């Protein structure tokens, strides 16, 4: 079975390989192909960077861009662990994966090291006890 993308008017197989799922349509698929949908998404993100960032922060961490910026001010634009200045780079939102509670903003090094530690802490504790 084929499906016509209503944006680019190209026929594709009616599968999730070519169309995103959509629960409110008869066939369960979006009306635009993935390529058209991605183009629209990228264009919207470029035109609405603040809304895009705000929606990502809200869905991933439950905070707004305003709350992120407040944390950034409280941390003097520095990593909460090492105190390193962000030098124009985005600080990453650190959160507890069990409770989802946001702990602070971290540089990429501290964020990745902390993530590694959390995944391997049992081995580290065992090693340190020897």
How confident is the model over 52-73, as pLDDT tens digits? 888 989 999 999 999 999 999 9
The pLDDT of residue 84: 87
pLDDT along the chain (130 residues), means of 10: 96 95 94 95 90 90 93 94 82 90 94 91 89
- Each domain of the chain, given as residue ranges in start order, spans 2-45, 71-128
How many Cα atoms sit within 13 Å of 27 on the Cβ side? 14
Cα–Cα distance, 94 to 60 (Å, whole number): 11
Which CATH number is 71-128's, of 3.40.1800.10, 3.20.20.60, 2.30.30.30, 3.40.1110.10? 3.40.1800.10
Cα–Cα distance, 58 to 73 (Å, whole number): 19
Number of C-beta neighbours around residue 121 at 10 A: 10
The pLDDT of residue 26: 92
The pLDDT of residue 85: 82
Tell me if 11 sits within 8 A of 3, measured CB to CB. yes
């Amino acid at each position: 079975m084929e499906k016509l993308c209503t944006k680019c008017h190209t026929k594709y197989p009616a599968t999730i390989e070519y169309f995103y799922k959509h629960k409110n349509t008869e066939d369960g698929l979006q009306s635009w192909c993935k390529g058209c949908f991605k183009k629209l998404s990228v264009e919207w993100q470029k035109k609405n960077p603040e809304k895009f960032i705000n929606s990502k922060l809200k869905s991933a961490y439950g905070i707004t861009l305003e709350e992120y910026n407040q944390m950034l001010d409280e941390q003097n634009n520095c990593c909460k662990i090492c105190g390193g200045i962000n030098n124009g780079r985005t600080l990453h939102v650190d959160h507890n994966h069990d409770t989802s509670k946001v702990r602070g903003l971290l540089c990429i090094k501290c964020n990745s090291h902390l993530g590694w530690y959390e995944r391997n802490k049992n081995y580290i504790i065992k090693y340190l006890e020897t």
